[in-house]
């Protein structure tokens, strides 16, 4: 085999090897980037859930002043809030507790409907608005997180990136999904209200 042919073959093998190395590095860095995006987006969800957990007791206290005899409903909402605010083993357990909490909030707002003075209370309206904004931010953060999880899971499942995911310890992640029943009861704010007489 002539020397020129050997040099060309070595150059081709070296070029292919270099391309493979570049692909390996780029793919590894993409996994790392996705992992960081998932951590960041989960942190956004966590911040908004804590914000929701802080708002609910204030709402309950405002309603309690007007509807003291509705104690059972208010205590149930606080119990569900406390469950949702505790540490969870998995995102599925957290989603279950958050769904139960969201499903209970319409009962709180139904109480407000029975008390025209409460419906017009500026504190209550401000808290209700803040809760609705928080729910919107939670939904946006959840979409961002789930998009990152989707991209990560796709990389972990597709060939040839699935080989790298196994080699470097990257794995599929769990989506953060609330039950569809809870999605339908996201608190809505009505800015039209009657002023107290």
Residue found by looking up tokens 């025209």 in the block: 116
**DSSP SS3 for 124:** helix
Amino acid 138: pLDDT: 92
122 pLDDT more than 70: yes
Does residue 193 lie within any of the structural domains? no
In a domain, residue 197? The reply is no
Q: How many CB atoms lie within 10 A of CB 71?
A: 10
Q: What three-state secondary structure class fits 2?
A: coil
Enter the tokens of residue 103. 């499903």
Q: Determine, yes or no, domain membership for 189.
A: no
Is the residue at 192 inside a domain? no
What residue numbers bound the domain in which 107 lies?
A: 3-184
The verdict on residue 191 lying in a domain is no
Q: What is the CATH number of the domain that holds 82?
A: 1.20.1440.20
Q: Residue 52 falls within a domain, yes or no?
A: yes
Number of structural domains the chain divides into? 1
Per mean pLDDT, which range of 9-23, 31-45, 129-143, 177-191 is the poorest?
A: 177-191
Specify the pTM.
0.74
What is the predicted pLDDT for the residue at 36?
A: 96
In a domain, 7, yes or no: yes
pLDDT of 191 strictly over 80: no
Residue 44 lies in a domain: yes
Residues 6+ apart with CB under 8 A from 70: 63, 64, 111
When mean pLDDT is compared across 33-37, 41-45, 89-93, 171-175, the lowest value belongs to 89-93
Residue 40 tokens, joined:
């960041």
User: Are the CB atoms for 44 and 141 separated by under 8 Å?
Assistant: yes
């Amino acid at each position: 085999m002539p020397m020129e042919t050997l040099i060309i073959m070595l150059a081709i093998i070296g070029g292919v090897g270099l391309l493979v190395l570049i692909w390996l590095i780029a793919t590894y860095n993409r996994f790392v980037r996705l992992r960081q995006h998932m951590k960041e987006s989960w942190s956004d969800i966590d911040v908004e859930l804590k914000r929701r957990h802080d708002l609910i007791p204030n709402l309950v206290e405002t309603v309690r002043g007007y509807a003291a005899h509705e104690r059972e409903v208010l205590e149930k909402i606080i119990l569900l809030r406390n469950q949702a605010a505790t540490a969870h083993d998995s995102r599925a357990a957290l989603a279950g507790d958050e769904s139960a909490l969201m499903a209970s909030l319409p009962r709180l707002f139904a109480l407000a409907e029975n008390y025209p003075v409460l419906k017009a209370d500026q504190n209550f309206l401000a808290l209700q608005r803040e809760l609705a904004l928080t729910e919107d931010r939670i939904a946006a953060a959840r979409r961002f997180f789930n998009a990152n999880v989707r991209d990560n899971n796709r990389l972990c499942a597709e060939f040839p990136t699935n080989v790298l995911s196994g080699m470097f310890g990257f794995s599929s992640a769990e989506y953060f999904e609330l039950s569809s029943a809870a999605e339908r009861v996201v608190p809505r704010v009505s800015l039209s209200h009657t002023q107290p007489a």
